[in-house]
Amino acid sequence: MAPGGSAEHHRGRMDETPVEPSEVERELRARVVIEEPEPQPAPSPPGRSPLRRRASRRLVAGVAGGLADHWGIPSLVLRIPLAAAAAVWGLLLLDTFTNDYLTFRPGTIGFPPLVWFGSLLAAIGYVALWIVVPREDVGSSPASRLLTRYPGMRSWPGFVLLGIGGALLADRLGIFEPTVVVAFGMIALGIWLFRRDGRRDGPVERSRTELGAPAPAPIVALRGPRPPRERSPLGWIAFGAALLVMCVAAIWSAGTTSFHPEGGPMGVTGAMRISSIPALGLLVLAAGLLVGSVFGRARWLILPSVLLVPVVLLSSVIRLPLEGRFGDLYFRPHEPGELGQAYHNSAGGIFVDLKRFQGRADLELRLDLSTVVGDVQVVVPYDARVVVTGHAGLGSYWFGRKTDSGLEVSGAATLEPKYGDGATFILNLETGIGRVSVGRYAITRRELRELRETERRAEAAEERTAA
Amino acid sequence: MKRHRFDPLSFTFGLLFAFVALFVLLGSSLADLVPVGLWTLPAMTIGLLIVLYGVRRLLPPDPGPSETPDRGEGPSPYSDAE
C-alpha cells in the first residue's frame, strides 16, 4: 500500500473530524494486537485421512480410533496396548496409594523397566494427542482453543515443565518437600490471578472496527499501555515511621524494665512486653496499607508486614523483658555463698550445675532463673529436695516424670530425694522460647557406699546412746 | 498523594495486620489464637478479599484524577470514533 493510501481511506470514512492520518496509523500499529490466523493443517497425502480424534465410536477421547483411521489399521491394534499401559499404571498407582506414599516405585510390583517405561510413554503420548489433535466434528484442538482464548498462555507449558523438572531434581537431591511445592504453586496461582485481574482493570479495550478502519486481518483487541501509576511516597513514609516507632518503643522499654519480687510474671514490673515493639511497627504498616487503599500507593508494605507477623506472634508468648546478657551462662557453685538468688538472660541458655553443692538438710535456697530465648537447666545433687515451678512461652518443661510442651506451658513439681537428706532448693524457672528442666545426678557406687556407711554409723551411735 | 480507586488488597491486608498488632498489644498471645485462629484468620482474609473485589466490580469505577490515562499532549486519535 502506498503511504498515502491509508490517509485517503481515513479521510473518506471520517471526514467529519479530520485527524492527522499518520498519527492514527502510528497509534494503530503500536496498539493493535493482530492475531495471526490459525495455521491450517497440512494437506494429507492422497489416500490417507487427516489425523483427527473420533467423535463417535470412541472409548475415551477417540485418540486410538483417530490414529487407526489415519493409518488405515484396525483400532483394536492400538487399543489393546493402550489398555495394557493403563492397567500397568493403575496397578502402580494402587500400590502407591495403599502404601501411603506418593513416590512411584516401579520395582515393587515386579514390572520390567521396559514395560514401565513403555506404559509411561503411552500414557504421555495419549494425553498429548488428546490435547493437540482436533476432534473430527470440532475442527480445533483443546490446545489451540486455549491459546486463542488466553494468548498469554503460550509460555505456561514451559513454566510447568520447568517446575516438574525442578521438583524431580529436588527429589533426586533429597531436598524435595511437598509442602514447599504446594506453597510455590499457590504463590504462582496468586500471581497469575493478580496479573489477570490487573489486565481486566486496565484501560478500556477497543477494537479497530470501532474506529471505522478497515480490518485487513482478524483483530482481537487494542490493548493500550497501562497508565503510569502515581509514584507514591506513602509506603516509604509508613515504613520509616514503623522503624521509628519500634526504636522508640525499644528504648522506652529498656528504660522502664525492672525485676521486682512482687511484680508480674517472674517479678517484672513496669515493663513493656517484647511483642509490643514489633506489634507497634506492624500497626504503623497496617495504617499505611489502609490509607493506601484509597490514597497513594503502598502495596509493597504487605511484604515487610508479612515478615513481621510471625515475629509478633512468636514474641507474644514471651512475658520476659530483654534484660541481662546475651550468651550462655554456666554456674557450678559449691557453697551457698557462691550461689545468687536470681539470674536473667536476654538470649542464651542458663545452666546451673549443683552436683558439688554441699548443703545440709535444714538449708533452703531460692533460685530464680529466666531467659528470653534459650534453655534453663538445673542439675541438683542426688540428695536434694526440689520444689520447682516453671513456665515456657513456647517450648517445654521437664521436671522428673512431669513434662509438657507447647504454647504457654507451666508446671510445678516437688522432687524428693531417693537417697540421703540434703538441702532444699526452691526453683522458679522461666523461658520465653526454649525448655526448662530439672535433672538430678545419679548417685555413684562410691557415694552410695559412703552413704550406707554414714547411715550405719549413725544407727550404731543411736543404739549406743539408747543403751 | 491523589485519591484513586479503592484497592481491596491493601485494605484487606491492612485490616489483617492491624488486627494482629492490636491483638498482641492488648495483651493476648499466640496461645490465645491457636488452633481456631490459625485457619479462620487466613480464610476470613481471603473471603474478605474476594468480596471486596466482587463489590468493586459491581460498583461503577471512580473517576479519580489518577485513573485518567495520560495519553500525551493533544487530542486523542480515538476521539474521532466517539
Cβ contact, residue pair B24, A197, below 8 Å: no
Alpha carbon distance A134, A123 (integer Å): 18
Is the pLDDT at B58 greater than 50? The verdict is yes
CA distances from A47 to A55, A70, A72, B5 (A): 21, 10, 9, 63
CB nearest to B14's CB, from A210, A233, A286: A286
Cβ contact, residue pair B11, A305, below 8 Å: no
Question: Which chain B residues are within 8 Å of A212, Cβ to Cβ?
Answer: 81
The pLDDT value given to residue A6: 43
Cβ contact, residue pair B30, A210, below 8 Å: no
Helix (H) or strand (E) holding B58: helix B36-58
The pLDDT value given to residue A195: 66
CB nearest to B80's CB, from A17, A203, A287: A17
C-beta of residue B80 within 8 angstroms of C-beta of residue A17: yes
Cβ contact, residue pair A294, B3, below 8 Å: yes
Shortest alpha-carbon distance between residue A279 and chain B (Å): 5
- Neighbouring-strand partners of residue A428: A368, A389
Judged by average pLDDT, the poorest of A4-13, A228-237, A249-258, B14-23 is A4-13
Question: Which chain A residues are within 8 Å of B28, Cβ to Cβ?
Answer: 316
Question: Residue A244: which pLDDT band, with cuts at 50, 70 and 90?
Answer: very high
Name the more confident of A81 and A206.
A81
Is the pLDDT at A106 greater than 70? The verdict is no
Q: Which of residues 39-68 of B touch A (CB under 8 A)?
A: 53, 66-68
Cβ contact, residue pair A203, B25, below 8 Å: no
Cβ contact, residue pair B24, A292, below 8 Å: no
pLDDT tens digits, one per residue of A353-377? 887 777 777 788 888 899 988 999 9
Question: Which chain A residues are within 8 Å of B48, Cβ to Cβ?
Answer: none
C-alpha A457 chain-centroid distance: 66
Which residue in A290, A300, A317 has the most chain B C-beta atoms within 10 A of its own C-beta, making it the best mutation to test that interface?
A: A290
Cβ contact, residue pair B30, A23, below 8 Å: no
Partner A contacted by B9 (CB < 8 A): yes
Question: Which chain B residues are within 8 Å of A299, Cβ to Cβ?
Answer: 7, 9-10
Which residue in A299, A313, A405, A407 has the most chain B C-beta atoms within 10 A of its own C-beta, making it the best mutation to test that interface?
A: A313
Partner B contacted by A220 (CB < 8 A): no
Please tell me which residue of chain A has the smallest CA distance to B81.
Answer: A211
C-beta of residue A298 within 8 angstroms of C-beta of residue A292: yes
Cβ contact, residue pair B14, A288, below 8 Å: yes
The pLDDT value given to residue A152: 61
Alpha carbon distance A235, A292 (integer Å): 8
The pLDDT value given to residue A228: 63
Alpha carbon distance A382, A422 (integer Å): 8
The three cell numbers of residue A197 are 485481574
SS3 sequence, A42-64?
CCCCCCCCCCCECCCCCCCCCHH
Is B29 exposed, middle or buried (CB count within 10 Å of its CB: 0-12, 13-18, 19+)?
A: buried
Which residue in B15, B30, B73 has the most chain A C-beta atoms within 10 A of its own C-beta, making it the best mutation to test that interface?
A: B30
Partner A contacted by B35 (CB < 8 A): no
Mean pLDDT for A97-122 is 60
The pLDDT value given to residue B45: 87
The pLDDT value given to residue A269: 47
The pLDDT value given to residue A173: 66
Alpha carbon distance A13, B21 (integer Å): 63
Partner B contacted by A282 (CB < 8 A): yes
Cβ contact, residue pair B22, A229, below 8 Å: no
Question: Residue A157: which pLDDT band, with cuts at 50, 70 and 90?
Answer: low
Question: Which chain B residues are within 8 Å of A305, Cβ to Cβ?
Answer: 13, 17
Which residue in A28, A276, A293, A315 has the most chain B C-beta atoms within 10 A of its own C-beta, making it the best mutation to test that interface?
A: A293
The pLDDT value given to residue A2: 39
Highest mean pLDDT: which of A120-124, A272-276, B17-21, B48-52?
B17-21
Question: Which chain B residues are within 8 Å of A317, Cβ to Cβ?
Answer: 29-31
CB nearest to A296's CB, from B1, B13, B21: B1
Is the pLDDT at A141 greater than 70? The verdict is yes
State yes or no: ipTM above 0.85: no
Partner B contacted by A193 (CB < 8 A): no
Alpha carbon distance A414, B27 (integer Å): 31
Mean pLDDT computed over every residue of chain A:
75
CB nearest to A407's CB, from B16, B31, B79: B31
Question: Which chain A residues are within 8 Å of B79, Cβ to Cβ?
Answer: 17
Question: Which chain B residues are within 8 Å of A393, Cβ to Cβ?
Answer: 29
Cβ contact, residue pair B17, A23, below 8 Å: no
Interchain CB contacts (distance < 8 Å): A and B: 133
Question: Residue A71: which pLDDT band, with cuts at 50, 70 and 90?
Answer: confident
Percent of chain A with pLDDT over 70: 69
Name the more confident of A213 and A96.
A96
CA angle centred on A361, ends A360 and A364, rounded to 5°: 90
The three cell numbers of residue A9 are 481511506
Highest mean pLDDT: which of A97-106, A280-289, B59-68?
A280-289
Partner A contacted by B79 (CB < 8 A): yes
